[in-house]
Amino acid sequence: MINMMIGFFKDFFKYKQSAKKQQEWLEKYAKQKNYALNPSWMMLTNLKSNLCEMEATFGKRYCPCFEPSADEKLNKKMMCPCKFIDDEIAEYGTCHCALFGPADLSKEDWKASSKRLMAEYQVPKNLKEGVLDTRGMPLDPRRALPIPDMMHQVKSTLNGYKGETLTVIVEYEQEVKNLEKIAKYRGLKLNSVDKDGSFEVVLDFRK
């Protein structure tokens, strides 16, 4: 929990200015659709920071819950606000990220949706002796992408991580490409090896 809070406030100050631009379009879209934004300051701030990081890392404002896939048609659908928003509001009460919801949604329903989201992303990580295995996570039924995905697992691990290197095991080549962009954005060295059916990617924090 402490490391999560440290990561939250680091992102808050890092993206404080660019988050203002995110707020502008979020409010405009919500008004057009008669939606509301998550009333929790912490949840909304975290989601805006994630949107800023997505845009800075991948060049597009992808949904803050999922890293880009190898399917460009799917990636277009995952541009926030994503194409799944109406179906998910009907199912969950909010969009998957708990960013948008109906204007008349109760505080209790907002809390329930936020709790659902947090439960999905706070699963125990398969991290042992500096090796993070990101495979084997359940798939989102609409996108067929893992929850939590590699990107979120890595980001969560890096909050408070003390090692000089982190080896990340991934299943797909696209995840390697995403890690390359993440490493470039964070100023990290990276080396990847194909392991016959998976990939081992080493993130090096040494200067």
Structural domains for the chain: 2-121 (3.90.460), 126-204 (3.30.110.40)
Residues in the chain, total = 207
pLDDT at 72: 97
C-alpha distances in angstroms, 137 versus 19, 26, 114, 162, 206? 30, 30, 20, 25, 30
Q: Per-residue pLDDT averaged across 134-150, rounded? A: 96
The one-letter amino acid code at 88 reads: E
CA distance 56 to 78: 16
CA distance 131 to 48: 29
**Looking at the DSSP assignment, which residues form a beta bridge with residue 133?**
126, 169
C-alpha distances in angstroms, 149 versus 106, 131, 155? 29, 16, 10
Q: Of 74-78, 85-89, 101-105, 157-161, which range is least confident?
A: 157-161
Q: Of 48-52, 123-127, 164-168, 180-184, which range is least confident?
A: 123-127
pLDDT at 88: 97
Q: Kindly indicate the confidence band of residue 123, based on its pLDDT and cuts at 50, 70 and 90.
A: confident
Per-residue pLDDT of 62-88, as tens digits, reads: 999 999 999 999 999 999 999 999 999
pTM, 2 dp: 0.92
**Is residue 137 within 8 Å of residue 149, measured between CB atoms?**
yes
pLDDT at 12: 82
Q: Tell me which DSSP letter residue 36 carries.
A: E
